[in-house]
Amino acid sequence: MNTEKTTEPSLPPERRHLFRTGLLVKLGFIGGFVLLVAGILIGVAAARGGLPGFSLFEKHQVAESSVVFENMRDLFVFDTVEYVETVVFPFDFMPEGMSGASILGRVSSANPQFNLASDVLKLASDPKAGLLPEERLYLKALQIANDAGLRFASPQREFVPVTVVVRAGFDVSGTPFAQGYEKEPAEKHKPLGDYFKTETIQPGQTGRLGGTRAVLRLPPLTITDIRIEDKAATPGPDVPLTPAGWKIISALVASDAKSRASNAGIIDEARKNAESFLRGLLLEAGFDEVRFE
C-alpha cells in the first residue's frame, strides 16, 4: 500500500530539498516586493506630509551665510505715499486672448531680420517691431519665465506672486536743508531762503486781520524708491526658483510697476500729502497761513 503523501510531488530527496528551497526563495521575493511597495507608499505619504516624523527619504540641509558691512550714507528723503501691488508672474503679463505664437508669427512675417529663437527680448524692446505695449510685455514675460526655468504651461502651471512697492516724496539731500541751520553767519542759512520765505499778511488782505504767511517751494516730488518684497507674496506655491531667476522676474515687475504707479497719480498724491503735512506743522508752529509755490 502506497502511504506516501500526495501534497508534494514524488521527487527524490535531493530534488525535494531543491523544490522547498526554491519555494522559500520565491516567497521571500514576493514578501520583499510587498514590503518594498509598502515602503515606497509610506515614504511617498510621509514626503507629502501624511506621516509626520517618518520618512523613507532622509533629508539633509546646510545653510551658512557671511554678512559684511559695506557702507553707510546719510539720507534726507521724505516719503509721503506708496503704491503697493501684487502681481502673479507670468500670468498677469499674459492677457487672455493673446498668445506668444500669434505675436511671433505676425512679427516674424513683417520682420524677417529677427531670429525668433534668440532675439525675443530684443524684439520685445525694439520699437521698429511694431508691437503693442502689452505684446512687448507678453514677450518679455515669456522669455523671462523661460530663462528663470518657470514651468508655467500646463500641466505644471508654476507661478510666483510678487509684491512691488513704489514710493514717492521728495529728496532734499542736495539742498541746503541737508546742511542744517546756523543762525550766524547769515550766509550759512541764506540758501534756505530759496525754499522758504515768510511774509507779513497786511490787514484786510485775503480777509484776514494780519499775521504771518509761510511761503514754501518744495523740491521736486519724485519716485524715491522701488522695491520688491523679499518674500514671494502669499498665498502662492513653493516653486523651484533660484535667486538668479527671482532677480530677472523682479526686474521686469519693478520696471512695469513704475509706469503703473505714475498712471495712478503717485506724484500728485505725494505732493498733496507733503503739502498737507507741512501746512499742519507750520500752522501748529504759529503761522497764520501757508502757501506753496
Residues 102-161 that bind other proteins (CB under 8 A): 106-107, 110, 130-134, 149, 160
Please report whether residue 35 would count as binding other proteins according to CB under 8 A.
no
**With contact defined as beta carbons under 8 Å apart, do 160 and 87 qualify?**
no
Cross-strand bridge partners of residue 226: 166
Q: Which C-beta is closer to other proteins: that of 119 or that of 188?
A: 188
**With contact defined as beta carbons under 8 Å apart, do 42 and 54 qualify?**
yes
Please report whether residue 187 would count as binding other proteins according to CB under 8 A.
no
Q: Which C-beta is closer to other proteins: that of 211 or that of 265?
A: 265
Q: By CB under 8 A, how many residues form the interface with other proteins?
A: 93
Measured between alpha carbons, how far is 161 from 207 in angstroms, rounded to an integer? 55
Residues 77-106 that bind other proteins (CB under 8 A): 77-85, 95, 106
**With contact defined as beta carbons under 8 Å apart, do 83 and 257 qualify?**
yes
Altogether, the residues listed in the chain come to a count of 293
User: Which listed residue (1, 6, 68, 96) binds other proteins by CB under 8 A?
Assistant: 68
Least separation, in Å, of the C-beta of 232 and other proteins?
Answer: 6
Please report whether residue 33 would count as binding other proteins according to CB under 8 A.
no
User: Which listed residue (2, 3, 7, 66) binds other proteins by CB under 8 A?
Assistant: 66
Place of cell 503693442: 132
User: Which listed residue (115, 118, 179, 200) binds other proteins by CB under 8 A?
Assistant: 179
Residues 199-218 that bind other proteins (CB under 8 A): 214
**With contact defined as beta carbons under 8 Å apart, do 233 and 129 qualify?**
no
Chain Cα centroid distance, residue 22? 63
Least separation, in Å, of the C-beta of 154 and other proteins?
Answer: 19
- In this structure, the dihedral spanned by the alpha carbons of residues 128, 132, 136 and 142, taken in order and rounded to 10 degrees, is -130
Place of cell 499778511: 201
Least separation, in Å, of the C-beta of 279 and other proteins?
Answer: 13
